[in-house]
Chains A and B, each alone.
Chain A
Amino acid sequence: MSRLASTFEQLAKSGRKALIPFVTAGDPTPDFTLSLMHEMVKAGVDVIELGVPFSDPMADGPVIQRASERALAHKMSLTKTLALATEFRKADQQTPVVLMGYLNPIEAMGYEGFANAARRADIDGVLTVDLPPEEGEQCAALLKERDIDTIFLLAPNSTDERIQKMSALGSGYLYYVSLKGVTGAGHLNAADVENKLKQIKAITSLPVGIGFGVKDAETAKTISSLGDGVVVGSALISKIESNLDNPERAKSEIIGLLSAMRQAMDK
Chain B
Amino acid sequence: MTEKYTMPDARGHFGPYGGMFVAETLIPPIQELNAAYQRYLQDPDFISELDADLQHYVGRPSPLYYAERWSRELGGAQIYLKREDLNHTGSHKINNTVGQALLAKRMGKTRIIAETGAGQHGVATATVAARLGLECVVYMGAVDVARQSLNVYRMKLLGATVVAVESGSKTLKDALNEALRDWVTNVDNTFYIIGTVAGPHPYPAMVRDFQAIIGRETKQQCQDMIGKLPDALVACVGGGSNAIGLFYPFIEDESVKLIGVEAAGDGVASGRHSAPLCAGRPGVLHGNRTYLMADDDGEIIETHSISAGLDYPGVGPEHAWLKDTGRAEYVNITDNEALEGFYALTRMEGIIPALESAHAMAYTMKLAPTMRKDETIVINLSGRGDKDMQTMAKREGIEL
A residues neighboring B (CB under 8 Å)? 54-62, 65, 69, 72, 75, 77-79, 102-109, 129-132, 134-135, 152-159, 162, 177, 180-182, 185
Contacts and interface: CB of A to CB of B under 8 A. Distances in A.
Q: Describe B's contact surface by its main secondary structure.
A: mixed
Given A135-B19, A181-B184, A157 B28 contact: yes
A24 to B, nearest CB: 14
B28 A158 contact: yes
Contact of B177 (A58, A129, A157): A58
A108 B285 contact: no
Contact of B21 (A72, A103, A153, A162): A103
Q: Describe A's contact surface by its main secondary structure.
A: loop
B173 interface: yes
Interface stretch (B50-58, B293-301, B386-394): B293-301
User: A55, A79, A182 — which one has the most chain B CB atoms within 10 A of its CB?
Assistant: A55
5 contacts: A55-B299, A104-B294, A157-B28, A159-B28, A180-B25
Contacts of B299: 54-55, 72, 77, 104-105
B282 interface: yes
B22 A157 contact: no
B24 A56 contact: no
Contacts of A54: 298-299
B143 to A, nearest CB: 16
- Assign chain B's interface to a size class: 35 or more
A104 B25 contact: no
Contact of B23 (A55, A108, A129): A129
A105 to B, nearest CB: 4
Nearest to B180: A58
A162 B286 contact: no
B53 to A, nearest CB: 31
A58 B187 contact: no
A51 B184 CA distance: 20
B185 interface: yes
User: B23, B29, B285 — which one has the most chain A CB atoms within 10 A of its CB?
Assistant: B23
A109 B298 contact: yes
Contacts of B21: 103, 130-132, 135
B24 A104 contact: no
B298 A78 contact: yes
Pairs A-B, 5 closest by C-beta atoms = A108-B298, A105-B298, A77-B297, A155-B25, A181-B185
B282 A107 contact: yes
A182 B24 CA distance: 12
A157 B23 CA distance: 12
Interface string B255-287: 000000000000000000000000001111111
A62 B174 CA distance: 12
Interface in B280-322: 281-287, 289, 292, 294-300
